[in-house]
Amino acid sequence: MDQFLKQYFDKMSASLNKEIPKKFLDVAEAILATSKSGGKTIFAGNGGSAAMASHVSVDLTKTAGIRSVNFNEADLLTCFSNDYGYENWLSKSLEFYADSNDFVVLISSSGSSPNMLNAAKFCQRSKIKFATLSGFSSQNPLREMGDYNFYIDSNEYNIVEMTHHIWLLAIVDFIIEGQM
């Protein structure tokens, strides 16, 4: 048990410390610029990443005073999935709810979820700035699609998801502390 936990926390620590801090500043600046221009930040993910999107979105709104939303409403997800297909529900949601001055954050552990890839393509076509967070294969397609891309070199869901979560909350805390 002790050995497992030591190895686990060593992996977690290594994943947290690999990313270049400049990207965090860039995303924080993009979120602040979006807010100043009257836009909102939109977070989206699947499964655990959807829960993370909700958490970060609420924290950004409540504690940082920056308008933020996420698409985790059961009626929206099931209606749009039924009408447009699961692979298109998120891009259709962005089509209906995103404005050109918004900022989007797409979170996908695998970086290969069709709904996330279609949402990224929508953002590219619509010229909406966006960030991606992914993991698993270094060849995952989402990894290079955003204006800002964060990648975890791990095949372990919890390492990838928890690193993404900590990174996003670090950006929120950085904004709250007024470091910009």
pTM reported for the whole predicted model: 0.93
Mean pLDDT of 123-131: 98
pLDDT at 60 exceeding the cut of 90:
yes
- Percent of the chain past pLDDT 70, that is, above it, reads 97
**pLDDT band, residue 179 (cuts 50/70/90):** low
Per-residue pLDDT, 180: 56
Q: What is the largest CA-CA distance in the chain?
A: 51
Q: Where are the domains of the chain?
A: 38-176
Q: Is 79 left (phi over 0), alpha (psi -120 to 50) or beta?
A: alpha
pLDDT-derived band at 14, boundaries 50, 70, 90 = confident
C-alpha–C-alpha distance, residues 115 and 102, integer Å:
19
Give SS3 for 106: strand
The arithmetic mean of pLDDT across residues 92-106, rounded, is 98
Residue 157 pLDDT exceeds 80: yes
Kindly report, residue by residue over 61-81, the tens digit of the pLDDT: 999 999 999 999 999 999 999
Average pLDDT for 11-35? 86
The CATH class of 38-176 is alpha beta
Q: How far, in Å, are 67, 99, 126, 152, 159 from residue 102 at the CA level? A: 10, 5, 11, 25, 29
